[in-house]
Amino acid sequence: MRKSAITAEAAAALIPDGASLMIGGFLGVGSPDRLIDALVSRGARELTIIGNDTAYPTIGVGRLIEAGCVARVRASHIGTNPTTQRLMSAGAIDVELIPQGTLAERIRAGGAGLGGVLTPTGVGTIVARGKQVVEIDGEIYLIEKPLRADFALLRAHEADYCGNLTYRLTAANFNPIMAFAADCVIVEPDEIVPTGVIPPDAVRTPGVLVTHLIGRPR
Amino acid sequence: MDAKEIIARRVALELRDGMLVNLGIGLPTLVARFVPKGISVAFQSENGLIGFSAPPPEGMENRNLTDAGGGFIAALPGAASFDSATSFALIRGGHVDMAVLGALQVDASGRLANWMVPGKFTPGMGGAMDLVAGAKRVIVAMQHAAKSEPKIVETLTLPPTSARRVSLIVTELAVIEPTDEGLVLRERAPGVRVAQILAGAGARLIVPDETPEMSLGCD
């Protein structure tokens, strides 16, 4: 059960070029900044990034875009990052735009062992292209497939050495659901606390989901 | 009073006591400034919070507490935070009473377009498609025209956000309700003539015998 803390650099070395990554955060709030910096420093290439947005060119996921680490993006919104916009128009980066609630549910399905979700969101729009449509009790839904990734890079507030996590306010966003949906889950907490300090009822991500914790830099 | 304030004030009069309300980024966020006296509403921010207020005083910002536009906010007593799946379960599940969204275009069937201009700018839909699919009422808050190009059009030329008809359109000139028969002019802004409203619209509007001036809740 017990996890040992590794450095952000060691974590970045575990992530090969071409890997798919779920990265928590909403416009950079609740993103694992030190892990992102370590991937930029390592010169990672051809990454697929799954997350809500691509933040800003100098913040959060936007730093990976700016450094040329990313080949493919699946997000709900890229409007705050002109670099993503420019690379997409130039064909240098592949962007799939997914409604935010659909993105959340596809990730949840991927982590919960479900074959997908039925959602009314996107019916009658571009989002419905190529997707199966089903009618349930007179309502029309799209079949949206589950999403998983090789790695989830998450930001938490507290972690204990069992990997149990807490979050703060709007920094939770996609982090708790992504913890279920990747083969290797790497968490950058603000603080690592002794096991037992986080009461069971306060744990929002059970530690069994977490593969590695990032320690505080010395 | 500028166009945006007129729109925000009129939309605010649609608020009812006890509502859970989601305000889109941009113009719709202004609505929070004009909540009518004597009613209490809760605002949801889709990045994971119900119960926030205006930005905190300088120096009191919390880096873990922002709205869906990335701006710092303050949580009110009684606020609740949650993850993105929960946030959109609230939205899609019909628990949000009213969503206020900006739009690039609305057409005669009441569909809105607000997430992409093909070949020019593709910000993405963010939470807009879910909000239009799931909120009990969807109110479009937008300027009547963009650089003299009508935003109210016969048929959308931009990709729709949803096939669902919005509940109400509020511009600085008019309040318009999409119905089975088409777009019905409900109210005029103070001092605005019906002819002006029709001239600025690119779709046919149904004009009832009575089109009262809109209240702006200024008293």
- CA–chain centroid gap for B188, Å, is 18
Q: In whole numbers, what is the pLDDT of chain A averaged over residues?
A: 97
A103-127 pLDDT, tens digit per residue, is: 999 999 999 999 999 999 999 999 9
Q: Which residue has the tokens 């802004």?
A: B189
Q: Which residue has the tokens 């809760």?
A: B42
**Strand pairing class (B137-141; B98-101):** parallel
Please identify which of the residues B46, B58, B187, B213 carries the catalytic annotation.
Answer: B46
Residues of B in contact with A99 (CB under 8 A): 125-130
Are B88 and A172 a contacting pair at CB < 8 A? Answer: no
Tokens of B132: 């239009």
Percentage of chain A modeled with pLDDT above 90:
97
Whether A37 contacts A11, CB under 8 Å: no
What 8-state DSSP symbol labels residue A49? Answer: E
What are the residue boundaries of the structural domains of chain B, listed by start? 3-206
Partners of A50 in the β-ladder: A22, A74
Are A125 and B159 a contacting pair at CB < 8 A? Answer: yes
Distance CA A38, CA A6 (A): 12
Give A31: exposed, middle or buried? Use CB within 10 Å, 0-12, 13-18, 19+. buried
Q: Which residue of A has its CA nearest to B63?
A: A29
B52-109 pLDDT, tens digit per residue, is: 988 899 999 999 999 999 999 999 999 999 999 999 999 999 999 999 999 999 999 9
CA distance A175 to chain B (A): 8
Distance CA A3, CA A93 (A): 36
* pLDDT of res. A218: 66
Whether A182 contacts A32, CB under 8 Å: no
Whether B161 contacts B115, CB under 8 Å: yes
Interface ipTM > 0.90: yes
- CA–chain centroid gap for B17, Å, is 18
Whether A20 contacts A149, CB under 8 Å: yes
**Strand pairing class (A149-160; A20-23):** parallel
DSSP H or E run through A214: strand A212-214
DSSP class per residue in chain B: --HHHHHHHHHHTT--TT-EEEE-SSGGGGGGGGPPTT---EEEETTTEEEEESPPPTT---TT-B-TTS-B-EEEEEEEE--HHHHHHHHHTT--SEEEE--SEEETTS-EE-S-BTTTB----TTHHHHHHH-SEEEEE--SEETTEESEESS-SSPPS-SSPPSEEE-SSEEEEEETTEEEEEEE-TT--HHHHHHT-BS-EE--S--PBPP----
Which pLDDT band holds residue A12 (cuts at 50, 70, 90)? very high
Distance CA B11, CA B214 (A): 10
Residues of chain B with pLDDT under 50: none
Give pTM, 2 decimals.
0.97
B3-206 CATH: 3.40.1080.10
Determine whether B149 is an active site residue: no
Are A172 and B82 a contacting pair at CB < 8 A? Answer: yes
Q: Which residue ranges form the domains of chain A, and what is each CATH number? A: 5-115+146-214 (3.40.1080.10)
Are B63 and A29 a contacting pair at CB < 8 A? Answer: yes
**At residue A143, what are phi and psi to the nearest 5 degrees?**
-90, 120
pLDDT at A49 over 90: yes
Distance CA B19, CA B216 (A): 20
Distance CA B29, CA B107 (A): 23
A146-198 pLDDT, tens digit per residue, is: 999 999 999 999 999 999 999 999 999 999 999 999 999 999 999 999 999 99
